[in-house]
Protein backbone atom coordinates (compact mmCIF):
# COMPACT_ATOMS: atom_id res chain seq x y z
CA UNK A 1 0.00 0.00 0.00
CA UNK A 2 1.42 3.35 -0.97
CA UNK A 3 2.09 6.05 1.59
CA UNK A 4 -0.72 8.18 0.17
CA UNK A 5 -3.30 5.39 0.17
CA UNK A 6 -2.22 4.37 3.68
CA UNK A 7 -2.88 7.85 5.00
CA UNK A 8 -6.21 8.03 3.21
CA UNK A 9 -7.32 4.86 4.98
CA UNK A 10 -6.67 6.21 8.48
CA UNK A 11 -9.69 7.07 10.61
CA UNK A 12 -8.01 9.98 12.43
CA UNK A 13 -5.19 12.17 11.20
CA UNK A 14 -3.45 14.85 13.26
CA UNK A 15 -2.17 17.84 11.29
CA UNK A 16 -0.07 20.59 12.88
CA UNK A 17 0.18 24.12 11.51
CA UNK A 18 2.37 26.79 13.07
CA UNK A 19 1.62 30.45 12.49
CA UNK A 20 4.37 33.09 12.12
CA UNK A 21 5.27 35.29 15.06
CA UNK A 22 3.12 38.40 15.28
CA UNK A 23 4.54 41.91 15.03
CA UNK A 24 3.76 42.47 18.70
CA UNK A 25 5.60 39.30 19.72
CA UNK A 26 8.64 40.36 17.71
CA UNK A 27 8.58 43.91 19.10
CA UNK A 28 8.29 42.54 22.64
CA UNK A 29 11.51 40.61 22.14
CA UNK A 30 10.07 37.11 22.04
CA UNK A 31 11.89 34.41 20.08
CA UNK A 32 10.53 31.43 18.22
CA UNK A 33 11.28 28.17 20.01
CA UNK A 34 9.39 25.90 17.63
CA UNK A 35 10.96 24.37 14.52
CA UNK A 36 9.05 22.40 11.88
CA UNK A 37 10.38 19.60 9.70
CA UNK A 38 7.62 19.47 7.11
CA UNK A 39 9.13 16.53 5.20
CA UNK A 40 9.32 14.26 8.26
CA UNK A 41 6.22 15.62 10.00
CA UNK A 42 8.22 16.55 13.09
CA UNK A 43 7.79 19.49 15.47
CA UNK A 44 10.80 20.40 17.64
CA UNK A 45 10.51 22.60 20.72
CA UNK A 46 13.57 24.20 22.29
CA UNK A 47 13.85 25.32 25.92
CA UNK A 48 15.08 28.96 25.82
CA UNK A 49 16.10 28.73 29.48
CA UNK A 50 18.39 25.77 28.81
CA UNK A 51 20.13 26.16 25.41
CA UNK A 52 22.22 23.04 26.02
CA UNK A 53 19.17 20.79 26.36
CA UNK A 54 18.17 18.72 23.34
CA UNK A 55 14.93 19.87 21.70
CA UNK A 56 11.85 17.77 22.33
CA UNK A 57 10.47 16.23 19.16
CA UNK A 58 6.88 15.26 18.33
CA UNK A 59 5.81 13.40 15.18
CA UNK A 60 2.45 13.93 13.46
CA UNK A 61 0.74 12.82 10.24
CA UNK A 62 1.61 16.14 8.57
CA UNK A 63 3.25 19.39 9.63
CA UNK A 64 2.85 22.84 8.05
CA UNK A 65 5.06 25.79 8.98
CA UNK A 66 4.53 29.55 8.89
CA UNK A 67 5.18 29.64 5.12
CA UNK A 68 2.32 27.25 4.30
CA UNK A 69 -0.37 28.34 1.86
CA UNK A 70 -4.11 27.96 2.39
CA UNK A 71 -4.69 26.25 -0.94
CA UNK A 72 -1.79 23.81 -0.44
CA UNK A 73 -3.15 22.89 2.96
CA UNK A 74 -6.59 22.21 1.50
CA UNK A 75 -5.37 20.21 -1.49
CA UNK A 76 -2.95 18.07 0.51
CA UNK A 77 -4.94 17.59 3.72
CA UNK A 78 -8.67 18.27 3.31
CA UNK A 79 -9.54 17.45 -0.31
CA UNK A 80 -9.45 13.66 0.14
CA UNK A 81 -11.72 13.95 3.18
CA UNK A 82 -14.30 16.01 1.29
CA UNK A 83 -14.09 13.57 -1.63
CA UNK A 84 -14.84 10.68 0.75
CA UNK A 85 -17.89 12.59 2.03
CA UNK A 86 -19.12 12.97 -1.54
CA UNK A 87 -18.73 9.18 -1.82
CA UNK A 88 -21.08 8.70 1.12
CA UNK A 89 -18.83 8.63 4.17
CA UNK A 90 -18.89 10.97 7.18
CA UNK A 91 -16.02 13.33 7.87
CA UNK A 92 -15.02 15.89 10.49
CA UNK A 93 -12.32 18.56 10.59
CA UNK A 94 -11.60 19.80 14.11
CA UNK A 95 -9.30 22.80 14.67
CA UNK A 96 -7.92 22.92 18.20
CA UNK A 97 -5.64 25.48 19.82
CA UNK A 98 -5.37 28.45 22.13
CA UNK A 99 -6.97 31.78 21.28
CA UNK A 100 -4.79 33.60 18.76
CA UNK A 101 -3.07 30.54 17.29
CA UNK A 102 -4.72 30.84 13.88
CA UNK A 103 -7.71 28.46 14.00
CA UNK A 104 -10.12 30.92 12.41
CA UNK A 105 -7.64 31.81 9.66
CA UNK A 106 -7.07 28.15 8.81
CA UNK A 107 -10.76 27.26 8.90
CA UNK A 108 -12.30 30.42 7.41
CA UNK A 109 -9.48 32.63 6.14
CA UNK A 110 -10.31 35.64 3.98
CA UNK A 111 -13.34 34.71 1.87
CA UNK A 112 -12.88 37.59 -0.61
CA UNK A 113 -9.34 36.46 -1.53
CA UNK A 114 -9.11 33.05 -3.30
CA UNK A 115 -5.52 32.56 -2.12
CA UNK A 116 -6.41 33.23 1.52
CA UNK A 117 -9.68 31.32 1.73
CA UNK A 118 -9.73 28.75 4.50
CA UNK A 119 -10.85 25.15 4.71
CA UNK A 120 -14.57 25.87 5.09
CA UNK A 121 -15.11 28.14 2.03
CA UNK A 122 -12.80 25.91 -0.05
CA UNK A 123 -14.86 22.87 0.89
CA UNK A 124 -18.08 24.70 -0.02
CA UNK A 125 -16.64 25.47 -3.47
CA UNK A 126 -15.40 21.91 -3.85
CA UNK A 127 -18.74 20.33 -2.89
CA UNK A 128 -20.96 22.43 -5.14
CA UNK A 129 -18.55 22.21 -8.08
CA UNK A 130 -18.70 18.43 -7.77
CA UNK A 131 -22.51 18.51 -7.63
CA UNK A 132 -22.76 20.76 -10.69
CA UNK A 133 -20.63 18.31 -12.70
CA UNK A 134 -22.52 15.20 -11.62
CA UNK A 135 -24.90 13.75 -14.20
CA UNK A 136 -26.19 10.47 -12.74
CA UNK A 137 -26.15 11.32 -9.06
CA UNK A 138 -28.39 13.49 -6.89
CA UNK A 139 -27.18 15.25 -3.75
CA UNK A 140 -28.96 16.89 -0.82
CA UNK A 141 -26.84 19.36 1.16
CA UNK A 142 -28.08 20.25 4.62
CA UNK A 143 -26.32 22.79 6.82
CA UNK A 144 -26.37 23.03 10.62
CA UNK A 145 -24.26 25.24 12.86
CA UNK A 146 -23.82 24.51 16.54
CA UNK A 147 -21.52 25.64 19.31
CA UNK A 148 -20.29 23.70 22.35
CA UNK A 149 -19.20 26.28 24.89
CA UNK A 150 -18.66 25.70 28.61
CA UNK A 151 -20.24 22.23 28.21
CA UNK A 152 -23.46 23.65 26.77
CA UNK A 153 -24.76 23.09 23.23
CA UNK A 154 -26.27 26.03 21.37
CA UNK A 155 -27.95 26.06 17.97
CA UNK A 156 -26.38 29.10 16.29
CA UNK A 157 -29.16 29.15 13.68
CA UNK A 158 -32.01 29.19 16.18
CA UNK A 159 -34.04 32.32 16.85
CA UNK A 160 -33.93 31.48 20.56
CA UNK A 161 -30.26 31.74 21.55
CA UNK A 162 -31.04 31.16 25.23
CA UNK A 163 -32.10 27.58 24.55
CA UNK A 164 -29.65 24.76 25.30
CA UNK A 165 -29.80 21.51 23.33
CA UNK A 166 -29.20 17.93 24.42
CA UNK A 167 -26.90 15.26 23.04
CA UNK A 168 -28.76 12.02 22.30
CA UNK A 169 -28.01 8.61 20.83
CA UNK A 170 -30.07 6.27 18.66
CA UNK A 171 -29.26 2.68 17.67
CA UNK A 172 -29.83 3.38 13.97
CA UNK A 173 -28.20 6.81 13.52
CA UNK A 174 -25.81 7.05 16.46
CA UNK A 175 -25.07 10.27 18.37
CA UNK A 176 -27.07 13.36 17.42
CA UNK A 177 -28.19 16.72 18.82
CA UNK A 178 -31.91 16.81 19.54
CA UNK A 179 -33.87 19.65 17.86
CA UNK A 180 -30.82 21.02 15.99
CA UNK A 181 -31.83 23.26 13.06
CA UNK A 182 -31.03 22.04 9.56
CA UNK A 183 -31.33 24.02 6.32
CA UNK A 184 -31.20 22.71 2.75
CA UNK A 185 -28.69 24.69 0.69
CA UNK A 186 -28.37 24.57 -3.09
CA UNK A 187 -25.35 26.79 -3.74
CA UNK A 188 -22.19 28.24 -2.22
CA UNK A 189 -24.02 31.52 -1.72
CA UNK A 190 -26.83 29.88 0.24
CA UNK A 191 -24.56 27.89 2.54
CA UNK A 192 -22.36 30.95 3.14
CA UNK A 193 -25.47 32.86 4.17
CA UNK A 194 -26.26 30.13 6.73
CA UNK A 195 -22.72 30.39 8.05
CA UNK A 196 -22.87 34.18 8.28
CA UNK A 197 -26.07 33.97 10.33
CA UNK A 198 -24.42 31.52 12.71
CA UNK A 199 -21.23 33.58 13.00
CA UNK A 200 -23.20 36.46 14.49
CA UNK A 201 -24.30 34.24 17.39
CA UNK A 202 -20.93 32.70 18.24
CA UNK A 203 -19.27 33.09 21.61
CA UNK A 204 -15.67 34.31 21.91
CA UNK A 205 -12.79 31.84 22.09
CA UNK A 206 -14.48 28.68 20.83
CA UNK A 207 -12.85 25.95 18.80
CA UNK A 208 -13.70 25.55 15.11
CA UNK A 209 -15.33 22.42 13.81
CA UNK A 210 -16.94 21.42 10.53
CA UNK A 211 -18.70 18.09 10.09
CA UNK A 212 -19.63 16.78 6.67
CA UNK A 213 -22.16 14.02 6.01
pLDDT at residue number 202: 84
Whether the per-residue pLDDT at 212 is higher than 90: the answer is no
Tell me the pLDDT band of 25, cut-offs 50, 70 and 90: very high
Which residues are part of a known binding site for ATP?
97-104
Whether the per-residue pLDDT at 188 is higher than 60: the answer is yes
**pLDDT tens track for 57-69:** 999 999 999 999 9
Closest listed residue to residue 122, CA positions, set 65, 67, 64, 81: 81
What is the dihedral sign for C-alpha 128, 113, 199, 99?
Answer: positive
33: three-class secondary structure by DSSP: coil
**pLDDT tens track for 36-79:** 999 999 999 999 999 899 999 999 999 999 999 999 999 999 99
Which residues are part of a known binding site?
97-104
Strand 174-177 to strand 167-170: parallel, antiparallel, or no bridges (unpaired)? antiparallel
The span from the CA of 94 to the CA of 92, in Å, is: 6
Q: Give the start-to-end residue ranges of the domains of the chain.
A: 1-67
Average pLDDT of the chain, as a whole number: 89
pTM: 0.82
Mean pLDDT of 105-109: 94
Whether the per-residue pLDDT at 205 is higher than 60: the answer is no
Mean pLDDT of 160-185: 91
Whether the per-residue pLDDT at 20 is higher than 60: the answer is yes
The span from the CA of 172 to the CA of 74, in Å, is: 32
Mean pLDDT of 166-189: 92
Amino acid sequence: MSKKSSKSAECVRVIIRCRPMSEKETNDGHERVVDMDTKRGVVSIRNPKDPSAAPKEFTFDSVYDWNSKQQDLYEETFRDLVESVLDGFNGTVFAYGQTGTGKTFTMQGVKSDPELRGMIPNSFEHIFQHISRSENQQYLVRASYLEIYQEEIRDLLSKDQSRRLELKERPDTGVYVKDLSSFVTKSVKEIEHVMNVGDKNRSVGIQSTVSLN
